[in-house]
Amino acid sequence: MRNRFPGKCYRCGGHVPTGEGHFERPSRRTYEKLELAAIGGRWLIQHADCAIKHRGTNHTYWKKVAANG
């Protein structure tokens, strides 16, 4: 579903303008898989490009930030 509000991409951390990404309501499983507890929030937004690029992975920008210290 296309996002109806702008937000921050959970894949790359970049800004996602309205209508240029996808948003989803994560299931409990997704929530745990992505370690969303670390940032909170009930909705996820990602770029359409990032959705394709990272499909099937649990790549998130906050894990990257954590890994880089």
Cα distance between residue 60 and residue 68, in whole Å: 13
Query: Among all residues, whose Cβ is closest to Zn ion?
Result: 9
The count of residues interacting with Zn ion (CB under 5 A) is 6
Look up residue 59 and give its two tokens. Answer: 């790549």
Q: What is the CA radius of gyration of the chain?
A: 11
Beta bridge pairs of residue 14: none
Asked if 10 interacts with Zn ion (CB under 5 A), we say no
| Using rule CB under 5 A, residue 9 touches Zn ion | yes
Task: Examine residue 50 and tell whether it contacts Zn ion (CB under 5 A).
Answer: yes
Which of 11, 34, 44, 45 touches Zn ion by CB under 5 A? 11
